[in-house]
Amino acid sequence: MLSEKQKQDYELALIKAYKAMSDVINERAKQDEKWGEHNHYPPLWVGILGEEYGELCQAVNETVFDNGTDKGGYENMRKEAVQVAAVALAFIECLDKNKEEWEL
């Protein structure tokens, strides 16, 4: 049972995370619209997630090292971080959906 303070802290954390979570869910919907529903086995998800994580790393590197490209900066880092989270969310949904069939 949560204390009143814990409930307030939890609600505050939800409020703080709302914008980020909304963006992740919107990106998740865009990815479904673009690629359709995915039921990949975990090794494929790791590859997709790795690609997105690589793009996030690139956005961070281009921000830190300023190589004169347009791939760095706050907007690119945030966009790529949202895409990583959206793919991770899709992976979680896929695992949950296929848990029994794949005998995980």
The residues binding Mg ion (CB under 5 A) are 52, 55, 80, 83
DSSP the chain: ---HHHHHHHHHHHHHHHHHHHHHHHHHHHHHHHH------HHHHHHHHHHHHHHHHHHHHHHHH--S-SS-SHHHHHHHHHHHHHHHHHHHHHHHHHTTTTT-
Minimal distance, residue 99 CB to Mg ion, in Å: 27
Kindly tell me which of 38 and 98 has the beta carbon lying closer to Mg ion: 38
Minimal distance, residue 11 CB to Mg ion, in Å: 31
Kindly tell me which of 31 and 83 has the beta carbon lying closer to Mg ion: 83
Kindly tell me which of 71 and 98 has the beta carbon lying closer to Mg ion: 71
- Say how far apart CA 42 and CA 95 lie, in whole Å: 8
Minimal distance, residue 83 CB to Mg ion, in Å: 4
Minimal distance, residue 1 CB to Mg ion, in Å: 41
Kindly tell me which of 9 and 47 has the beta carbon lying closer to Mg ion: 47
